[in-house]
Amino acid sequence: MFSFLNTKNFKDFHDHYLFWVKVFFLSLVIFGLILSLFLSPADYLQGDTVRIMYIHVPSSWLALQIYAVMCVCGFIALIFKNRVFTLITKSIAPIGFTFSLISLFTGSIWGQPTWGTFWTWDARLTSMLVLVIFYIAYILTWKIISEFLLAEKLSSIIALIGLANLPIIKFSVDWWNTLHQPATIKLTESSTIHASMLTPLIVMFLSFVAFSVIIFLIRFKLESLNLRINSKKQ
């Protein structure tokens, strides 16, 4: 069913296209930084402080999306016993963890001039912190448990439990009275963010996606190699 997703195909993609993905990433990030720092307007209330949005928002999006991918791959690994999906999940978890930390850190910096404090137990911030904890739990499971099959099963279960937190993060600003502003970019309704700010935001998001692909391909190759070496030792 998932025969096209195998270590050989990922290795071939790594060997043949990694360079071009890097070129694509560098082009996007340079273009995105020019748009974000020099061409996009300052906010009429927040001034230039709003420019942190171009790091904070893409990081937040990717932190959630990567965790969602982890849940899907973890479920498939549990049900179909496909080790490739375990390697995918194990490879992308540190990437999502990093973006979740960036999201919290930049959000705190943004919150100081906006809310007057670096941290508050706001529903959005708290649920994002819970996501960081689930990332840590997943990563530590692989660090602590040496038996591959047991670590594979427990880490997948941990990832799936954390799935319940994703809609809380997404809809917390709608369900509760929070300091965090509601979503300004919507798929089913008209977005309230101006195109002059939306364009650099999308470009920066795509550059972060390209960066994630680069790190994933490198990590997947290493994880596959480690699995092969450990299998031979056993």
Does residue 234 carry a pLDDT above 60? no
Give the DSSP letter of residue 147. Answer: -
pLDDT tens string 112-156:
887 777 888 888 889 999 999 999 999 999 999 989 999 999 999
Work out the average pLDDT over 28-43: 93
Predicted local confidence at residue 42, as pLDDT: 85
83 Cβ contact list (under 8 Å, min separation 6):
77, 152, 227
Quick one: how far is CA 156 from the chain centroid? 17
> Which tokens hold the place of 84?
């490739």
pLDDT tens string 46-77:
888 889 999 999 999 999 999 999 999 999 99
Backbone angles phi, psi at 135, to 5 degrees: -60, -45
Predicted local confidence at residue 112, as pLDDT: 81
Does residue 188 carry a pLDDT above 70? no
How many H helices and E strands in the chain?
A: 7, 0
Q: How far is CA 189 from CA 27, 167, 192, 193, in A?
A: 31, 19, 9, 12
Predicted local confidence at residue 229, as pLDDT: 78
Question: What is the phi-psi region of residue 116: left when phi exceeds 0, alpha when psi lies from -120 to 50, beta otherwise?
Answer: left
Secondary structure class of 43 (helix, strand, coil): strand
Residue with tokens 């809609």: 167
Secondary structure class of 184 (helix, strand, coil): coil
Predicted local confidence at residue 116, as pLDDT: 78
Does residue 174 carry a pLDDT above 60? yes
pLDDT tens string 82-96:
899 999 999 999 999
Predicted local confidence at residue 1, as pLDDT: 59
Select from 6, 155, 161 the least CA-distant residue to 78: 155
Domain ranges of the chain: 53-229
pLDDT band at 195 (very low <50, low <70, confident <90, very high): confident
Would you tell me how many other CB atoms lie within 10 Å of the CB of residue 157? 15
Mean pLDDT for the chain? 88
Does residue 185 carry a pLDDT above 80? no
Helix, strand, coil fractions of the chain, as percent rounded to 5: 80, 0, 20
Secondary structure class of 166 (helix, strand, coil): helix
Tell me the DSSP string of 88-102. Answer: HHHHHHHHHHHHHHH
